[in-house]
Amino acid sequence: MSERSTSRVAVIGAGIIGTMTAWQLAARGHQVTVYDQWNVPNDRGASAGESRIFRTAYKEGGDYIPLLRASLEKWDELEQSSGRKVLDMCGGLTLGRPDHPDVETVIGTAVDHDLEHRILDATEMAREYPQFALDPDEIGVFDPASGIFRPELAVIAARDESVRHGAEYRPYTPVLNIRPLAERIMVDTADDAVAYDKVVVATGPWAHRLAGVTRQQVHPARLVAGWFAAEDVPLHSPDRMPISIRRHDEAGFSCFPAVDGVAVKILPHHLPWLPLDEPEDLPRLIEPEFVRAIERAVERLLPGLDPSALRVSSWIEGVSPDGAPLMGPSSLDPRITLAVGMSGQGFKLAPMLGSIAADYVTDGASADTIDLFDVARLQGGAA
Ligand SMILES: Cc1cc2nc3c(=O)[nH]c(=O)nc-3n(C[C@H](O)[C@H](O)[C@H](O)COP(=O)(O)OP(=O)(O)OC[C@H]3O[C@@H](n4cnc5c(N)ncnc54)[C@H](O)[C@@H]3O)c2cc1C
């Protein structure tokens, strides 16, 4: 009988990636300590802001489909074991012309992977989903395996499951340095230096500050979300309005039904994700022309919403140059596992990314990872 040895593991960062990693590690018997510079959950990193989208027919490509399916199973497991409802499978639509590359990819992945889906022309869309204004030559691709998360609750659920399996949390404790020594790895804070066997770095937009991750590999970027009041709230609620990805000549965005009983959220894709020198440089006030550009998109494409933003807010994310996460051993020291650079994709995949990070800690390799995540692809300096 083979026996797996368990380790003392530090997880740095307690957003959705760190808490999911802690859950997966603790469930495998490791002794886990999770550090965060703030509280858990917090609204300063990337894992907050009312809602997140899950999609299966994926515009980012078919390589992700097995991970998405496996993640959905783990989200279900988390809901069952925690007793918290964090994901509402309200379905999803990709909207645009059939020859738009993202629409083509969504249909292609649905066909290739035998995913249930429906294609609706503009007339069918107007009848079934009047919330969306489509041009006559546009279509909607409906993916029933899509939904909307409550991200803060999801972090709480993953945190609590990790604690149930024995993980400990050190909130309000910034990690200042990770020092690999011959026999152990030291994690330094202002208060102490603690020895671990392994470390997982899940520091989101702060990735470039630890473990030799360079800004060229992961940089902090600003994402802006706007909320727009629905005239007919029930029509814009998750039980009648799917999440959506919009592709149009004039605008592109993701769109989240009204979970607060008031407003639909829009996250523009056609406006730049502003690179920041440091996460702390995130400006609270957003340029009026940026807000007006989101408002114009709403006025043109979402007829049931008041086109004057009732709220806009800015958020940060850790972004890699090719838009795929970095998962795997750091070239600084193989006992350090990186789980960074989520690039706007991390939430839906978080349970499997946590599981992959736990595989690296436990076995030094992961059968579930995909080539797209290979840390070595972005080796411009020490990783
Ligand atoms: C506005 C917005 C919308 C998005 N929409 C979607 C979506 O619809 N679907 C989807 O799948 N994904 C989406 N994403 C992406 C997804 O939310 C992120 O990829 C994911 O939340 C990243 O989680 P994380 O744990 O890596 O980072 P974070 O949540 O930022 O967590 C990192 C944590 O590390 C801590 N930390 C950093 N440095 C230190 C240190 N030195 N010491 C201690 N603690 C430290 C921070 O305090 C923070 O809590 C979106 C992202 C944004 C910003």
| Among 317, 348, 356, residue to substitute to test ligand 1 (most atoms within 8 Å of Cβ) | 317
Kindly give the distance from the C-alpha atom of residue 133 to the centroid of ligand 1, in angstroms, as a whole number: 32
Q: Please state the atom number of ligand 1 nearest to the C-alpha of residue 41.
A: 49
Kindly give the distance from the C-alpha atom of residue 16 to the centroid of ligand 1, in angstroms, as a whole number: 7
Per-residue model confidence as pLDDT tens for the chain (383 residues)? 344 578 999 999 999 999 999 999 999 999 999 999 999 999 999 999 999 999 999 999 999 999 999 999 999 999 999 999 999 999 999 999 999 999 999 999 999 999 999 999 999 999 999 999 999 999 999 999 999 999 999 999 999 999 999 999 999 999 999 999 999 999 999 999 999 999 999 999 999 999 999 999 999 999 999 999 999 999 999 999 999 999 999 999 999 999 999 999 999 999 999 999 999 999 989 999 999 999 999 999 999 999 999 999 999 999 999 999 999 999 999 999 999 999 999 999 999 999 999 999 999 999 999 999 999 999 854 44
**Whole-number pLDDT of residue 266:** 97
Instruction: Write the residue with the smallest CA distance to atom 52 of ligand 1.
Output: 46
Kindly give the distance from the C-alpha atom of residue 337 to the centroid of ligand 1, in angstroms, as a whole number: 17
**Whole-number pLDDT of residue 5:** 73
Q: Which of 378, 283, 296 is nearest to 330 (CA)?
A: 378
46 lines ligand 1 (CB under 6 A): yes
Q: Which residues contact 286 (CB under 8 A, 6 or more apart)?
A: 224, 312, 314
DSSP 278-295: SGGG--SSPPHHHHHHHH
Beta bridge partners of 265: 227, 256
State the helix-helix crossing angle for 151-164 and 16-27, rounded to 10 degrees.
20
**Whole-number pLDDT of residue 259:** 97
Under the phi-then-psi rule, with left for phi > 0, alpha for psi from -120 to 50, and beta for the rest, what region is 216? alpha
Residue 332 to residue 146: CA distance in whole angstroms = 38
Beta bridge partners of 94: 141, 245
- In this structure, are residues 269 and 254 in contact, taking their beta carbons and an 8 Å threshold? yes
| Half-sphere CA count of 218, side-chain side, radius 13 A | 32
Residue 191's identity, in one-letter code, is D
Total Cβ atoms within 10 A of residue 36 = 27
Instruction: Write the residue with the smallest CA distance to atom 26 of ligand 1.
Output: 204
Residue 58 to residue 107: CA distance in whole angstroms = 9
174 lines ligand 1 (CB under 6 A): yes
Kindly give the distance from the C-alpha atom of residue 272 to the centroid of ligand 1, in angstroms, as a whole number: 18
64 lines ligand 1 (CB under 6 A): no
Burial class (CB in 10 A: 0-12, 13-18, 19+), 306: middle
**Whole-number pLDDT of residue 4:** 59
Cis previous bond, 41, omega within 30: yes
Reported CATH class of domain 92-144+219-318: alpha beta
- In this structure, are residues 120 and 106 in contact, taking their beta carbons and an 8 Å threshold? no
DSSP annotation of 218: -
131 lines ligand 1 (CB under 6 A): no
223 lines ligand 1 (CB under 6 A): yes
* Overall pTM > 0.85: yes
204 lines ligand 1 (CB under 6 A): yes
**Whole-number pLDDT of residue 6:** 84
Q: Which residues contact 243 (CB under 8 A, 6 or more apart)?
A: 53, 54, 55, 90, 91, 92, 93, 146, 147, 148, 254, 255, 256, 257
Q: Which helix (H) or strand (E) holds 296?
A: helix 288-301
40 lines ligand 1 (CB under 6 A): no
142 lines ligand 1 (CB under 6 A): no
**Whole-number pLDDT of residue 383:** 42
Structure tokens at 63: 């390589």
**Whole-number pLDDT of residue 359:** 98
Kindly give the distance from the C-alpha atom of residue 350 to the centroid of ligand 1, in angstroms, as a whole number: 10
Instruction: Write the residue with the smallest CA distance to atom 6 of ligand 1.
Output: 52
Domains of the chain, by residue range, sit at 8-48+152-218+322-373, 92-144+219-318
CATH topology of domain 8-48+152-218+322-373: FAD/NAD(P)-binding domain (3.50.50)
252 lines ligand 1 (CB under 6 A): no
346 lines ligand 1 (CB under 6 A): yes
